[in-house]
């Protein structure tokens, strides 16, 4: 046996005999992280959408050709009224299929862009407002079905001081939505989106109270998403301070058993490419150790933070998405 052959044989033998020394938990993490795929939320490009520098119809091709990503998530505001055009929806669905992109979730926000005011809430104490909100969201369920999404994300705002009453009102509304959505195979998901939903324990109670396969959670890494005491769910609130912060790592862990998606939120990055407000190594491990399988969705919010007066060192949308994608892949 020649020197090179002997050396290769020794290396191979050493590698084989060393494998059992690795713990089962290490093996588990390696294989578990392979159960995820990446998706991209169009909200990452909100600043470009508002400047008419991106057409939503271009989104499927963009994420496939530029980022080599297989899943697309949408945002209701990004449709800019085109959701009422059936031909537009068919074209969007067609382009997604053409580029082999799977449409996943629509984040539904009921915000009047002219006044920046929120519409009626599904969790309102007033029944007529809940009914109005239910009708609004039923339409978005139909849109989600039209473009092949499996879920819509809803918001739950309420001025009601009794959290149990909020839970009852929200449950009633979501059950009504499920009655409409289940025949289309569309789920209703609740994201930790600040306020009452920033309390992961309350959201878990909501999931158990509704007790349906057509309801789920959308864990989001954002610190502000776990801010229990926050202002209005509007764009200006993005840069506000939090008075009651729920632990995001514990929160994500509690929401994962009900998750139908995961939102990997980012804002700023340091010189090492790490997100400055979230330990991504820790967060990806939490997800890997859970039962969740499916897409982890890139949601870069830095450009929007900059647009609404944030003082951080924010990247432009494409740079932010690339930085987030690299960071997730680093720990996947």
Q: How far apart are CA 139 and CA 133, in angstroms?
A: 10
Residue 7, in any domain of the structure: no
pTM summary value: 0.88
Is residue 13 in some structural domain?
no
Question: Tens of pLDDT along 91-147?
Answer: 999 999 999 999 999 999 998 877 778 899 999 999 999 999 999 999 999 999 999
- Whether 147 maps to a domain, the answer reads yes
Least confident range from 52-66, 74-88, 110-124, 204-218: namely 110-124
In a domain, 17, yes or no: no
CA angle 20, 22, 23 (to 5 degrees): 105
Task: Tell me if 18 is assigned to some domain.
Answer: no
Query: What is the pLDDT at residue 189?
Result: 98
| Domain span including residue 294 | 23-331
Based on the structure, what is the number of domains in the chain? 1
Q: Which two tokens stand for residue 127?
A: 């029944």
For residues 255 and 192, is the Cβ–Cβ distance under 8 A?
yes
> How far apart (Å, rounded) are the C-alpha atoms in residues 170 and 154?
10
The answer to whether residue 1 is domain-embedded is no
The answer to whether residue 142 sits within a structural domain is yes
Does residue 90 belong to any structural domain of this protein? Answer: yes
- For residue 316, what is the DSSP state? P
CA dihedral 321→101→180→196, nearest 10 degrees, is -20
Model pLDDT for residues 206-247, shown as the tens digit of each residue:
999 999 999 999 999 999 899 998 665 555 555 567 889 999
Q: For position 96, which CATH number holds? A: 3.20.20.150
């Amino acid at each position: 046996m020649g020197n090179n052959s002997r050396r290769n044989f020794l290396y191979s033998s050493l590698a084989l005999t060393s494998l059992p020394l690795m713990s089962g938990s290490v093996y588990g993490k390696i294989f578990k992280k392979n159960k995820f795929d990446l998706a991209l939320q169009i909200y990452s490009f909100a600043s470009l959408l508002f400047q008419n520098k991106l057409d939503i119809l271009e989104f499927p091709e963009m994420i496939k050709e530029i980022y080599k990503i297989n899943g697309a998530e949408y945002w209701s505001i990004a449709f800019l009224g085109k959701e009422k055009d059936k031909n537009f929806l068919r074209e969007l669905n067609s382009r997604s299929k053409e580029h082999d992109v799977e449409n996943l979730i629509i984040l539904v926000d009921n915000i009047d862009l002219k006044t920046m005011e929120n519409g009626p809430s599904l969790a309102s104490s007033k029944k007529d407002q809940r009914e109005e909100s239910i009708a609004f969201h039923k339409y978005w369920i139909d849109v989600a079905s039209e473009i092949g999404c499996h879920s819509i994300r809803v918001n739950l705002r309420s001025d009601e001081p009794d959290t149990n009453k909020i839970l009852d009102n929200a449950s009633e509304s979501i059950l009504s939505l499920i009655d409409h959505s289940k025949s289309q195979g569309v789920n209703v998901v609740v994201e930790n989106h600040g306020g009452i939903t920033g309390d992961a324990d309350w959201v878990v109670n909501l999931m158990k109270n509704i007790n349906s396969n057509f309801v789920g959670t959308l864990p989001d890494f954002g610190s502000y998403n776990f801010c229990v005491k926050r202002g209005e769910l509007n764009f200006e609130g993005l840069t506000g301070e939090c008075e009651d912060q729920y632990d995001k790592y514990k929160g994500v862990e509690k929401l994962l058993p009900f998750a139908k998606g995961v939102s990997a939120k980012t804002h700023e990055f340091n010189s090492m490419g790490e997100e400055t407000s979230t330990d991504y190594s820790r967060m990806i491990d939490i997800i890997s150790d859970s039962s969740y399988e499916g897409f982890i969705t890139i949601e870069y919010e830095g450009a929007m933070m900059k647009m609404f007066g944030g003082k951080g060192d924010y990247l432009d949308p494409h740079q932010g998405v690339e930085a987030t994608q690299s960071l997730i892949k680093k720990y996947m």
